[in-house]
Chain A
Amino acid sequence: MNPPPAPDHSAAGTSRTPRARRSLTLQLTLIVAAIVAMLLGVLLLDGNRYWREIVGEQIDAQLSAVAESRRNMVLAHLAQLKQRAEMMAEHGQFRGLLNNLIMGQPDTINRNYSQGRLDEMADGKRMFSAMLADAKGRVLLASKGTDVLGDVSSDPAFTKGMSGIYVGPPCSVGDHSEVVLAAPVRDYSRPVKIAGVLMMTVDVSPLAAALRDTTGLGQTGEVLLGVREAGQMRFLFPPRHRHDVLLFPLTDTPAMAAATNGRDFLQPTRDYRGEPVLAAGRPIGYGGWGLVAKMDEAEAHAPILGALRHALWLGAAIMLVGLAAAWMLARRFSRPISQLAAAAESVARGELDVAVPVASQTEVGVLAACFNEMTAALRARTAERETAELQLAEAQRQLQQHAGNLENTVRERTEKLREIVEELEAFSYSIAHDMRAPLRAMTGFSDILLTDHAGQLDETGRRYLQHIAMAARRMDTLIVDILNYSKVVRGELEMKPVNVEQLIREITTTYPALGADRADITVASPLPRVLANGAALTQVVSNLLGNAVKFVAPGVRPYVCVRAEKDAEGVRLWFEDNGIGIAKDAQARLFHIFTRLHGQEEYEGTGIGLAIVRKAAERMGGSVGLESEEGRGSQFWIRLKEADDS
């Protein structure tokens, strides 16, 4: 099993710690900044509302006071005008003239006096013209320079004047303002009867000036006087901001609309320009006139905006100071932590000789102290480990030295042993080889004697010669078998996949004793390929087949069946024969060298064949065995590894 991959401590440590250090200071600063900003915001909003309320009330009171006082002033002016008109109309000349005229009597004296009086009036202060009309509206007399003569019966001033004193709406002419003033002239003998009307044009410039006075109304404020006229609003004096226009839609002048409707008005609204204003409206109580004192909201609230601006600057300053303080505070908190983090980083890199200053008894201070204790412990542990590693290395070195010595010894001994074995092999090989030469001579000469000189020997001599030749041949077979056995025992066996069926075919065609004319050898195809050494397996198979066909009862045709059987350990090749079988007690020693169960007279043999089989099988990593019963044939088997490529 693979161990899980080790986490890369160093990389993680260097990348994580500085970021954490930055964000700690930043976070603390941001938190403090957010709190300060929230406080400032709340204070500013609340202050704004408070000041708007205070200022609004103050302005309202001021406007109301102005409106009230100006209304009183207008009323006073009106009263004064009325009184003056009444006084004028009381003159006896006017009444006498009108009386005489009504009576149908010419009255030149009164006429002249009246004319003089009118001229005098028109010359007087604050009056431009004067005229006298009778009850039917005919103008009787007019001041000098006044060319309005004739019928004034349809003039509103006349009709109103017939029933009482009338002050017309002011109007501006050039640089002054004037009003038409009408007063009834009572009958001389019966005062309840109206004999005519005295009509005057009077200068009201002082009133206009007094209304124009903007004291207490700032740069934008004004006092307006207005009256409704045919569904529109007419300002009686030109407004401050629009000198040329007097008529406005009612909807553009809500404050004046209320005042001319007889209602007091006090609230923020819009004026004739559409500007937001604070306005106070009052009905004059005469002729449907209304008065409005107003001021632009922008100007009214200007002090608040100034105060707010002031507060904002102040807030920004407080904010800055707060931020600086928060940053310093955060640094003061995070510096020991940063030092700790840096120290931890060093420890992670393996530098254990670090200590962080323990500045305080706070939690961070305690942490720093703990950290120092930890690094000290780590240092101690590391030192211990290094010592142990040194000891271990020394021990390993010694062990290696011993192992090296041992290895050298083994190598030397092995070399020596190999030399000895080689010498022995060469020795035995040459002995075996040299032994074959005299045997060959024995065989050869016996043959020659028997073929070329048979006539010179008697029957017994020839039989002896045959015994010599046979013995020599047996000895040669023995030597060849021993050589084969030693070859199997010591030779290098190269293992390759071997086709067993093909190998058996080759063997049966090579050995005359295995030919189809002398034995029945069958193969249960297909046989699996096995991992073996071709030469050694040839030796094994030929020995087993040779035994199978050799050890049969006299007169029996040998029969061998070769089959394969796969099991967990590999392949078992079975060789079943119809031979004489092997007794149970003999089976155990059967594979030992020089083991023979029969005399040479019965079956020839050297007792080496099965030893070669066993040795070869073992050298190829396999094993051999048999199942047999005397008289029932034998089943020899050899187990080998199956070739991978099959």
Chain B
Amino acid sequence: MSEHPILLVEDDKNDVFFFQRAMEEAAFACPLRVARDGGEAIDYLSGTGAFADRVQFPLPCLVLLDLNLPRRHGLEVLQWIRGNAPDPAVPVIVLTSSTSDRDVREAYRLGANSYLSKPSGAGNLVALVRALDAYWFHHHRFTPAAGG
């Protein structure tokens, strides 16, 4: 299991709670860091402000990104990651309740690795987390620089 955490960018506290609980339910042991808005996500990834300590806030191996975020929109964050982040190749999975075609198209155009709809109901979310675990941490290989 990687020492690099998953960075969940999510402004809804309930959804953060549901996700953490689903990870527990799914016995998904990867550490989780949370950014509450777009600005925080960029601060975390660039290691500035409150996130300067890389020991406490190491670079993530995976970013779960909501789109409708305060301060900076999720697509803005995605664009910043692909252009300016220390690890621009970090896998970014969009996890959002938006079903807009335009959002889907833009996300993929800006370099999202996947686009997932937020499921409704605790059971469905646990299934999604299990799928993430299976795909990204059992079958997928990260780039050596990021994943170690």
Q: What residues of chain A have their CB less than 8 Å away from a CB belonging to chain B?
A: 429-430, 433, 436-437, 439-441, 443-445, 447-448, 451, 469, 473, 476, 480, 483, 487, 491, 535
- State A487–B101 Cα separation when bound (angstroms): 9
**B3, CB-defined interface residue at 8 Å:** no
What are 23 A-B residue pairs whose CB atoms fall within 8 Å in the complex?
Answer: A429-B100, A433-B68, A436-B97, A436-B120, A437-B12, A440-B14, A440-B15, A441-B12, A441-B18, A443-B122, A444-B18, A444-B121, A444-B122, A444-B125, A447-B122, A448-B21, A448-B122, A473-B120, A473-B121, A476-B120, A480-B99, A483-B99, A535-B101
State the B residues within 8 Å of A (CB).
12, 14-15, 18, 21, 68, 97-101, 118, 120-123, 125
Query: Which 9 A-B pairs have CB atoms at the shortest separation, nearest pair first?
Result: A447-B122, A441-B14, A444-B18, A443-B121, A436-B97, A444-B122, A443-B120, A476-B120, A440-B120
Are A447 and B121 closer than 8 Å at their CB atoms? Answer: yes
Query: Which residue of the partner chain, among A437, A447, A469, A473, contacts B14 with CB atoms under 8 Å?
Result: A437
Q: State how many angstroms separate the Cβ of B125 from the closest Cβ of chain A.
A: 7
A451 — which chain B residues lie within 8 A by C-beta?
122
Residue in A closest to B98 when the chains form the complex, CB atoms:
A433
Cβ-defined contact, A439 with B122, below 8 A: no
B14 close to A444 (CB less than 8 A): yes
Chain B residues lying within 8 Å of A439, measured Cβ to Cβ, are 120
In Å, the complex CA distance between A578 and B107 comes to 43
Task: Name the B residues within 8 Å of A436 (CB-CB).
Answer: 97, 120
Residues of chain A within 8 A of B120, CB atoms compared: 436, 439-440, 443-444, 473, 476
What's the nearest-Cβ distance from chain B to residue A196, in Å?
A: 172
A441 to B125, CA, bound (A): 12
Chain A contacts for B101, CB-based, 8 A: 487, 491, 535
> How far is B124's CA from A469's CA once the two chains are assembled, in angstroms?
14
Closest to A448 in B: B122
Could you tell me the distance between the alpha carbons of A459 and B35 in the complex, rounded to whole angstroms? Answer: 40
Shortest Cβ distance from residue A512 to the other chain B in the assembled complex, whole angstroms = 14
Q: B residues within 8 A CB of A445?
A: 14
Smallest Cβ distance from A405 to chain B, in angstroms?
35
Residue in chain A with minimal CB distance to B99:
A483
The CA of A451 and the CA of B123, in the complex, are separated in Å by 10
Q: B123, A447: Cβ atoms under 8 Å?
A: yes
Interface core residue of B15, B18, B21, B123 (most chain A CB under 10 Å): B18
Residues of B near A440 (CB, < 8 A) are 14-15, 18, 97, 118, 120
**15 further interface pairs, Cβ-Cβ under 8 Å (given A433-B98, A447-B122):** A429-B100, A437-B14, A437-B15, A437-B97, A440-B18, A441-B14, A441-B18, A443-B122, A444-B14, A444-B18, A444-B125, A448-B21, A473-B121, A480-B99, A483-B99
**Min CB distance, B107 to chain A, in Å?**
15
Residues of B within 8 Å of A429, CB to CB, are 100
Contacts of B98 in A (CB 8 A): 433
Nearest neighbor of B119 in chain A, beta-carbon distance: A440
Q: Which residues of B contact A483 (CB under 8 A)?
A: 99
CA distance A52 to B21 in the complex (A): 152
Closest to A434 in B: B68
List A contacts of B121 (CB < 8 A).
Answer: 443-444, 447, 469, 473
Within the complex, the shortest CB–CB distance from B23 to chain A, in Å, comes to 14
* Distance (whole angstroms) from the CB of B30 to the closest CB of chain A: 21
Residue from the set A429, A441, A535 with the largest chain B CB neighbour count within 10 Å: A441
Q: Smallest CB-CB separation from A451: which chain B residue?
A: B122
Q: Which residues in A have their C-beta under 8 angstroms from that of B123?
A: 447
Q: How many Å lie between the Cα of A126 and that of B100 in the bound state?
A: 166
Cα distance A429–B100 in the bound complex, in angstroms: 9
> CB-nearest residue of chain A relative to B67?
A433
Give complex CA distance A483, B98 in Å: 10
Closest residue of chain B to A487, judged by CB? B101
By a CB distance below 8 angstroms, the chain B residues around A437 are 12, 14-15, 97
State the Cβ distance, A343 to closest chain B Cβ, in Å: 75
Contacts of A535 in B (CB 8 A): 101
Inter-subunit contact B122/A433 (CB<8 Å): no
Q: Which of A433, A473, A535 has the most CB of B within 10 A?
A: A433
Question: For residue B14, which residue of chain A has the nearest CB?
Answer: A441
User: Residue on A with the closest CB to B123?
Assistant: A447
CA–CA, A487 to B98, complex, Å? 12
B100: chain A residues at CB < 8 Å are 429, 487
> Across the interface, which residues of A come within 8 angstroms of B99, CB to CB?
480, 483
Q: Which residues on the A side are within 8 Å of B68 (C-beta)?
A: 430, 433
Inter-chain CA distance A445–B15, complex, in Å, is 11
**Chain B nearest CB: distance from A444 CB in Å?**
5
A21 shortest CB reach to chain B, Å: 79
Q: Is the pair B125, A433 in contact by a Cβ cutoff of 8 Å?
A: no
Q: For A492, give the chain B residue with the smallest CB separation.
A: B101
What is the CA–CA distance of A443 and B99 in the complex, to the nearest angstrom? 19
